[in-house]
Amino acid sequence: MKITDIKAREILDSRGNPTLEVSMMNDKGQSVVFGVPSGASTGEKEALERRDGDINRYNGMGVKNCVDEIENNLKEGLMRIPLGDQSEFDGALATFDPSEKKEKLGANTMLGLSGAYLKLSALSSGQKLWQYISEISKSGPSLPRIYANLINGGKHAPGLDIQEVMVVPKETRPSVAVEQIVSFRRELAKKLSEEYGESSLLIGDEGGFVPQNARHAKVLAIFSSIEGDFEIALDVAASSFYENGKYHFEGKDVTAEELGGWYQANSNNILSVEDPFEEHDSESFANLASNASFFVIGDDLTVTSATLIDEFATKSAISGVIIKPNQIGTISETLAAVAAAQASDVKIIVSHRSGETNDDFIADLACGIGAFGIKIGAPVRGERVAKYNRLLQIEKEGL
Ligand code: PGA
Ligand code: ZN
């Protein structure tokens, strides 16, 4: 089947910043739309977003150049590629920009096209998106554990130094887990407003609450005081409070060793800790991973790169990785990162970004590759709820 048209446009993400949306049509008159997300606590090694830089529009963050690039330069050649051959399509994209960090096209341009092509190939094949992803990634599909981010801090909200405190039900059926998350959140709201006042119930970029002047250990104790069959996960995003060799944590400058000691002392019911140290300190990751009862997850450390995942898994610096397609660019490179993680037997957690659209693609991605987990924020805000609701649909589709 053939591509008959490609269109691109500038839309808004959940922070009110411009982002790219790509639609693609086939010769049966079917069409798909892919919305590109955008991070705030980005890793230094991530592929780059292309932005216009014209400060008279959206403070320089416009993506009109990406739209022009697609519609005037890339579209014609890409439309000649038949649907159903992801590596050929992504290979063609790579010829337009072979640079490691996608400086020319931008990872946003590449993912918009690559993601729309994947969706249209799946639709043309008559398969559900998660089934098609399972087939091309040669993975057994399964339902992931939901990582529900209920407290926002770091670069996503004023409040805690740790960026995310998540509840993770043990149950993977969304029809059960989603209700558990919603009732956990209701109970958490009650306890937070008693402890920190009602203003703690305002929400951050990923829909989590934002208690002010709270101690991290106290917040963890509140989580643990709520009944239910779940574990707790942290995304520390430690690069965001690291400066001059020290971590600025709870008003003090602490060393990597001291911070590692804090994780160990607060490990009760902790399932995983993401980016516990800044993104160049893989040695501290390895020290923690060799002693911890929880999984040590790389995000800024590994940036969805097959090479880096392979390197840090071999060094035993990680026992799990975050997979975010826009950190690397194309779907093929994302699936290569997944394959690297599967080969090293580290846990895979597919993740949204803090700046999101209503696109629910990552739910199909996580299910299709049989990921251990999926990070989709709190069960509020349309752009987060879209992913929850897609998981509920996928279960009904028979997974
Ligand atoms: P980001 O945050 O999308 O702002 O990078 C998410 C994360 O660090 O996991
Ligand atoms: Zn992270």
In terms of domains, do 298 and 176 share one?
Answer: yes
Low-confidence ranges of the chain (pLDDT < 70): none
In terms of domains, do 214 and 250 share one?
Answer: yes
How remote is the CA of residue 85 from the centroid of ligand 1, in Å?
30
How remote is the CA of residue 377 from the centroid of ligand 1, in Å?
10
Identify which ligand lies nearest to the alpha carbon of 43.
Answer: 1
Residue 291 is part of which domain span? 137-396
Identify which ligand lies nearest to the alpha carbon of 44.
Answer: 1
Query: Nearest residue CA, atom 1 of ligand 1?
Result: 39
Mutate-to-test residue for ligand 1 from 14, 17, 36, 41, highest number of ligand atoms within 8 A of CB: 41
User: Is residue 372 a part of any domain in this protein?
Assistant: yes
CA distances (Å), 198 to each of 49, 149, 211, 288, in order? 37, 19, 9, 36
Atom of ligand 1 nearest to the CA of 39: 3
User: For ligand 1, which residues put their CB under 6 angstroms from it?
Assistant: 39-42, 235, 237, 299, 322, 351, 353-354
Q: How far apart are CA 271 and CA 347, in angstroms?
A: 12
Would you call 206 a catalytic residue per the annotation? yes
Mutate-to-test residue for ligand 1 from 36, 111, 299, highest number of ligand atoms within 8 A of CB: 299
Last residue of a domain, one of 73, 96, 126: 126
In terms of domains, do 185 and 308 share one?
Answer: yes
In terms of domains, do 186 and 110 share one?
Answer: no
Would you call 49 a catalytic residue per the annotation? no
User: Is residue 10 a part of any domain in this protein?
Assistant: yes
In terms of domains, do 344 and 311 share one?
Answer: yes
What is the tens place of the pLDDT at every residue in 80-105? 999 999 999 999 999 999 999 999 99
Residue 158: the pLDDT is 94
How remote is the CA of residue 40 from the centroid of ligand 1, in Å?
6
45, 102, 119, 324: the active-site residue: 324
Mutate-to-test residue for ligand 1 from 278, 354, 356, 384, highest number of ligand atoms within 8 A of CB: 354
Residue 186: the pLDDT is 98
User: Is residue 97 a part of any domain in this protein?
Assistant: yes
Per-residue DSSP letter, 315? T
In terms of domains, do 203 and 315 share one?
Answer: yes
User: Is residue 131 a part of any domain in this protein?
Assistant: no
Last residue of a domain, one of 107, 126, 145: 126
User: Is residue 148 a part of any domain in this protein?
Assistant: yes
In terms of domains, do 237 and 362 share one?
Answer: yes
Atom of ligand 1 nearest to the CA of 353: 3
Output 22-26 pairs: Cβ under 8 A, ≥24 positions apart: 22/70, 22/112, 22/113, 22/115, 22/116, 23/116, 24/116, 24/117, 24/119, 24/120, 25/120, 26/1, 26/2, 26/83, 26/120, 26/123, 26/124
The overall pTM is greater than 0.75: yes
Identify which ligand lies nearest to the alpha carbon of 149.
Answer: 1
C-alpha atoms less than 13 angstroms from C-alpha of 20 in its C-beta half-sphere: 32
Atom of ligand 1 nearest to the CA of 237: 8
In terms of domains, do 151 and 32 share one?
Answer: no
> What CATH number has the domain bearing residue 52?
3.30.390.10
In terms of domains, do 143 and 282 share one?
Answer: yes
In terms of domains, do 52 and 154 share one?
Answer: no
Name the domain count of the chain.
2
User: Is residue 132 a part of any domain in this protein?
Assistant: no
CA geometry: angle at 124 spanning 119 and 129, to 5°?
40
How remote is the CA of residue 275 from the centroid of ligand 2, in Å?
6
In terms of domains, do 354 and 232 share one?
Answer: yes
Residue 290: the pLDDT is 97
How remote is the CA of residue 147 from the centroid of ligand 1, in Å?
13
How remote is the CA of residue 95 from the centroid of ligand 2, in Å?
30
Last residue of a domain, one of 126, 147, 169: 126
β-bridge pairing 145-152 and 373-375: parallel
10, 21, 164, 206: the active-site residue: 206
CA geometry: angle at 127 spanning 122 and 129, to 5°?
55
In terms of domains, do 99 and 148 share one?
Answer: no
Residue 345: the pLDDT is 97
> What CATH number has the domain bearing residue 175?
3.20.20.120
User: Is residue 95 a part of any domain in this protein?
Assistant: yes
User: Is residue 104 a part of any domain in this protein?
Assistant: yes
